[in-house]
Amino acid sequence: MGKITILPEQIANKIAAGEVVQRPESVVKELLENAIDAGSTKVELIIKRAGKVLIQVIDNGEGMSEDDAIISIQKHATSKIKTYDDLNAIRTLGFRGEALSAISAVSQLEIKTETMQDEIGTWLRIDGGTEIIVEKGSFPKGTSIAIKNLFFNTPARRNFLRSDATELKHIVDTFNKIAMSYHNVHMQMYIDDDVILNYPAGQQAERIAQVFGDAIYKSLFKVEEITDYLSVTGYIGKPSLLKKNKGDQYLFINNRFVQSKQVNHAVFTAYENILEKGEYPFFILFITLNPEKIDINVHPSKLEVRFENEKDIYAFILTVVKKGLSEYDLVPNLSFSQDSFSDTIPTRFDPSVQVTRNDFSDRPSFVKRPPAEIRISDQEIDAIFGSLNRHAEIRTSEDGTLPPLPFDFPAPQEPQVQTRVVQSSPPVNDEIAPDVFLVQLQNKYILTPIKTGLMVIDQHVAHERIMYEKALHMFDMNLPMSQQLLFPKTVQLDPGMYLTIKEIYEYLFKLGFEIKFFSKNTIAIEGVPPELKSGNEEEVLLGIADEYINNQKVKKITDIKDNLAKSYSCKSAIKAGEKLDDRVMRLLIDELFSTSMPYVCPHGRPIVLKISVDEFDKRFGRT
C-alpha cells in the first residue's frame, strides 16, 4: 500500500476552515456580510466571552427556505454567483460559498430562518460534524445564526486565541467597519447581554460621528469627487489626527473594506510634508467603480484587491485628497498653556475648532485669492499665459528695462520706528488693503492682524513653500527663464559634485540655470534663475547640489523632481535675519496663500501660527 492517502472529509474540512475562520472576528465578518447581502435594514450582533462561547447575528433580511438553509452549509454553496462572468463582476460582500461550511466544521452552528412569504420557518443545527438536524417552527422574519463554542473540536486553534480583550477589540473593529459602509442599516452590538453599540440608520456623516465620536468627526474634512468612471467620497483628517500607527486608515471599495498599498501611498503623498517621519494620516474613503475593473478574489479574507489600472486610481486619489486639503484652513492655533511651550510637543492644528470648506476668512485682510487649484485645465493654462503677458507689460518701464524682482530689493535703511501702520503705500495689486499693519519681528517673522487675533508667519519657510511650488510648475511647464550673467562664473569642483550637477542639469536648466561643463571638473555658470540675488550664484548652486545629495541619502527622497524642488527652495529662499520692506512682506503673504499648501514648508515645518484674542484676554485678565 502506498504512503499517500486521501484525507477523510472531516479532517479536510477542518484544515480548509483555517483559511476562513482564523479567530472569532472572522466569523463575525462572514455573518455580518451575509446579513447585509440578504437586504437587511436591521442587524444585531450578540457576543459572549469575546466570541469563544457565542457569536450570534440576527437580521431582518429575506430569510431562507428549508432547502436553501440545508444547502447553505455545504461547500461552495452560494446565491451570489452562478457563472464565470459573475466572478468577474462581484457586487456582493460574500461570493465564495465557503463561510458557513468552514464555520460549521469548527463550531456548534444553529440557524433559525423564515422568509417573508412563509408562515413556518426552519431550525437547523449541526455540531461540528456531518449530521444535520432540521426542525420546523415559527420564527421572526429573517435569519438568526448562532455560533457556539468556537474551535471546541480543534483545541490547538483555540489555545492560540488571544485574551478576551484582544479578541473583542478585533470584533468591534470589524463591526464598525461594516457599520461605516452601510449607514442605511440599523446596527446593534451586544456584549454579554449589554447593548454596547447602537447605530440607528442615517446619513454617512451621522454614522461616522456615531462610530468615532463628535471630537474626531469635527477633526475631519469631507472630500468628494464624482465621475462616470470612478467616484470617491469620504473624510480625511486634520493634521491633529496624525498618528504613529497605521490603524486609522479606512478604505472601502464598492462598500467593501479592503487594504491597498497603492491607495494608502497616494493619500500619504497628498499629505505631502504635513507628515513627519513615522506619522500616518487618518482617512475614511469610499471608492465606487465598475466591479469589472477590480479583482477581489485574491485571498480568502477578501481584504486584498487588485485594480485593472492602478496608475489611474493612484492619480485620482492623489488629486482628490490634495484638493480636499487645499479647501480648508489648516493654520494651527498657538495657546499659552504650559504644554504649548514644551520642547517635545509640536504645534498642531486645534482639533476642537471646526472649519468649513473654502472658509479662509481668518487670514490677513489683504489676502483675497482662493488657494491654487491642484488640477490645471485648458482654460487655466490659457489664463496662466495671459497673466504672464500682462505681467510683462506691467513690469516693463518706459525705457524698456525691467525693475528688479520683489526679493531683489536692497535692504531698507534702519527705520526709526519699525512698528507702524501703513497709510497709503502703493499696493502690490488691487486686492491689498492699505491700512493693515505688518511687523517684522527680529527680521525672522512677519506679524499681521487677522479676524480672530494675530497671525505669525516665518518669512524663510513661507518663501520656501512659494519657491518649491514654482519649481514644480517650472518642471512641468518646461519653459525655463534665465538671467544671463555679464561675466560667467567659473567654478572648480570635486569629482563627486561635478557628476551630481551634471546628473541633475536637465532639471537645473528648467529652473533657469545655464551651465557649461569643461574638463577637469570645471563648470561655467552663465545664467541663473531671475529670483536669485546677484553675487551668490556659486553658493546657491553648490548648496542645491549638497541638499539634493543629503535628501537622497538621509531623507530617502527618491523622486528627483521633488528632491530638487525642495533643494532649490531651501537654498534660494530669503533667509531669516533679512530685512524686508512692507511691499515685499505683502507680496510674500499674498503669494504664500496662493499656493496649494500654505501651512507647512516642503520639509514639514509650520509656516503660519495663529494666536487668538481670547489667549491675549486670558493673559491680561480680561476673562
- For residues 548 and 563, what is the distance between their CA atoms, to the nearest angstrom? 6
Which residues does residue 600 pair with via DSSP β-bridges, in sequence order?
Answer: 606
Q: Are 156 and 18 in contact (CB under 8 A)?
A: no
449-to-278, 421, 436 alpha-carbon distances in Å: 35, 11, 8
Checking if the pLDDT of 532 tops 60, the result is yes
CA-nearest of 112, 117, 115 to 136 is 112
Mean pLDDT of 541-562: 87
pLDDT in tens, 408-425: 434 444 433 333 333 333
Q: How far apart are CA 243 and CA 144, in angstroms?
A: 39
More confident site: 50 or 377 = 50
Phi, psi of 464 (to 5 degrees): -60, -45
Whether 307 shows a pLDDT value over 50: the answer reads yes
- Mean pLDDT computed over 120-128: 89
Give how far Cα 237 sits from Cα of 275, 277, 544, Å. Answer: 12, 17, 33
Q: Which of 438, 418, 479, 382 is nearest to 587 (CA)?
A: 438
In this structure, of 1-5, 136-140, 418-422, 555-559, the range with the lowest mean pLDDT score is 418-422
In terms of average pLDDT, the best of 98-107, 205-214, 420-429 is 205-214
In this predicted structure, what is the pLDDT of residue 302? 64
Predicted pLDDT at 18: 47
* Cα–Cα distance for residue pair 88/208, rounded to 1 Å: 31
Q: Does the global pTM surpass 0.95?
A: no
For 57-213, where are the alpha helices, taking DSSP H only?
66-72, 84-87, 99-105, 155-159, 164-181, 204-212
- The answer to whether 584 and 406 are in contact (CB under 8 A) is yes
Average pLDDT rounded to a whole number, residues 240-259? 84
The conformation of residue 520, written as its DSSP 8-state character, comes to T
Output b/e per residue, 590-614; b: 16+ Cβ within 10 A. Answer: bbbbebbbbbbbbbebbbbbbbbee
Percent of the chain exceeding pLDDT 90 equals 44
Could you give the CA distance from residue 288 to residue 58 in angstroms, rounded to a whole number? 28
What sign does the dihedral 137-138-143-148 (CA atoms) show?
A: negative
CA distance 74 to 427: 79
Q: β-strands 445-450, 453-458: how paired? A: antiparallel
pLDDT per position as a tens digit, 435-477: 677 899 999 999 999 888 899 999 999 999 999 999 999 998 8
Q: Residue written as cell 498657538?
A: 334
Identify whether the C-beta of residue 321 lies closer than 8 Å to the C-beta of residue 271: yes
Distance in angstroms (rounded) separating the CA atoms of residues 417 and 205: 53
The whole-angstrom separation of Cα 68 and Cα 547 is: 68
Is pLDDT larger for residue 306 or for residue 62?
Answer: 62
pLDDT band at 426 (very low <50, low <70, confident <90, very high): very low
Q: Look at residue 82 and tell me whether its pLDDT is greater than 60.
A: no
599 falls in which pLDDT band (50, 70, 90)? confident
Q: Give 108's contacts (C-beta < 8 A, 6+ positions apart).
A: 125, 126, 127, 128, 147, 148, 149, 152
* Residues whose CB is less than 8 angstroms from the CB of residue 203 and which lie 6 or more positions away in sequence, other chains included: 183
- Of 331 and 284, more confident: 284
DSSP string of 228-286? SSEEEEEEEE-GGG-BSSSTTEEEEETTEEEB-HHHHHHHHHHTGGGSPTT-B--EEEE
Set of cell numbers at residue 132: 444535520
Q: What are phi and psi of 186, to 5 degrees?
A: -75, 120
Rounded CA separation 291/298 (Å): 14
Q: Give one DSSP letter per residue of 185-238, joined into a string.
A: SEEEEEETTEEEEEE-S--HHHHHHHHH-HHHHTTEEEEEEE-SSEEEEEEEE-
533 pLDDT more than 90: no
DSSP string, 301-345: T--B-EES-HHHHHHHHHHHHHHHHHTS--PPB---SSGGG-TTS
Instruction: Supply 84's cell numbers.
Output: 464565470
pLDDT of res. 612? 86
Mean pLDDT over all residues of the chain?
A: 80
End-to-end, the C-alpha distance of the chain in Å comes to 93
Q: Is the pLDDT of residue 24 over 80?
A: yes
- As to burial, measured by CB atoms within 10 angstroms (0-12 exposed, 13-18 middle, 19+ buried), residue 152 is middle
Strand partners of residue 222: 235
pLDDT for the residue 235? 95
CA distance 184 to 147: 26
| Cα–Cα distance for residue pair 63/41, rounded to 1 Å | 13
Does 392 score more than 50 pLDDT?
Answer: no
* Residues 608 and 446: beta-carbon distance below 8 Å: no
Structural domains present in the chain: 9-202 (3.30.565.10), 213-326 (3.30.230.10), 480-572 (3.30.1370.100)
SS3 content of the chain, % helix, strand, coil (to 5): 35, 20, 40
Predicted local distance difference test score (pLDDT) of residue 135: 94
Mean pLDDT lowest among 83-92, 260-269, 403-412: 403-412
Q: Is the model more confident about 605 or about 581?
A: 581
Q: What is the phi/psi pair of residue 260, to 5°?
A: -145, 115
236 pLDDT band (50/70/90 cuts)?
very high
C-alpha cell at 416: 526709526
Q: Is 581 exposed, middle or buried (0-12, 13-18, 19+ CB in 10 A)?
A: middle
Helix (H) or strand (E) run with residue 393 in it: helix 378-395
